[in-house]
Amino acid sequence: MNKRSAVSNASRNSLRVLLDLDQVLADFEGYFLELFRQKYPEHPFIPLEKRKGFHLTEQYKHLHPDAVEKTREIYHAEGFFYNLPEIPGACSAAKEMAAMDGVDVFICTSPMLTNEHCFVEKIRWVNDHLGPEWRGRTIITRDKTIANGHILIDDNLKILGACARPTWDHVVFRACHNRDAKLRGRSVLENWTDGSWRDLIEDYLKRI
């Protein structure tokens, strides 16, 4: 019996998919670079095809002595997280996934604690791009290992936390910074536009 829980409207028997926000649904890297080049047109920058490593400031700090401060000015600014553009096809895929029989979809996103606007702007982004009902399906946590799902789709290759064996399988979402990374047995989702996400979900639906 596919019983709906009174509190969350999710089903105990469904496939639970956790979607990361930044660089899976929202284009952090592309928007950062656009703003950085607008604000500091004379400053050296790292084109997306040369980005390496999850934290962009770690790479920028080797570029120029003041690059760290300038990168932070961009992503600490009010409005940065709210104004992130959508990764192509992401929101329609998320909505279609959530409408599939036997699938419950949640957003699972880590806040940037040094940006005081980040929490509320992430919720506003979800509200505006996915719909108000998705606000209640949004988990904002620094520790994704404690979130209980079957799949976590995330561009970050290192997801560590209190739980040594999370319930989810990590599916790596392709991003500029992880294009050469070793997947170590993990599945990868290259984009939201070629339809391969449907095969991934169908495959998991057969397994649970």
Catalytic residues: 20, 22
Which lies closer to Mg ion via its Cβ, residue 14 or residue 122? 122
Question: Can you say whether the dihedral through the CA atoms of 175, 112, 170, 92 is positive or negative?
Answer: negative
Beta-ladder partners of 172:
154, 188
Beta bridge partners of 18: 106, 152
Query: Is residue 29 at the binding interface for Mg ion, with CB under 5 A as the rule?
Result: no
Q: Determine the interface stretch with Mg ion among 19-27, 78-86, 161-169, 198-206 (rule: CB under 5 A).
A: 19-27
Q: Does 178 bind Mg ion (CB under 5 A)?
A: no
CB of 135 to Mg ion, least distance (A): 19
CB of 65 to Mg ion, least distance (A): 28
Q: Are 141 and 152 in contact (CB under 8 A)?
A: no
**Residue whose entry in the numeric block shows the structure tokens 């982004």:** 125
**Residues in 154-173 that interact with Mg ion by CB under 5 A:** 155
Say how many C-beta atoms besides its own lie within 10 A of residue 166's C-beta: 20
**Taking CB under 5 A as the rule, does residue 22 contact Mg ion?**
yes
The residue from 15, 18, 19, 23 that contacts Mg ion (CB under 5 A) is 23
If the CB atoms of residues 87 and 97 are measured against Mg ion, the closer one turns out to be 87
Per-residue burial over 84-114, b = 16 or more CB atoms within 10 Å of its CB, e = otherwise: bebbeebbebbebbbebeebbbbbbbbbbee
What is the closest distance, in whole angstroms, from the C-beta atom of residue 168 to Mg ion in the complex? 15
Residues that bind Mg ion (CB under 5 A): 20, 22-23, 155
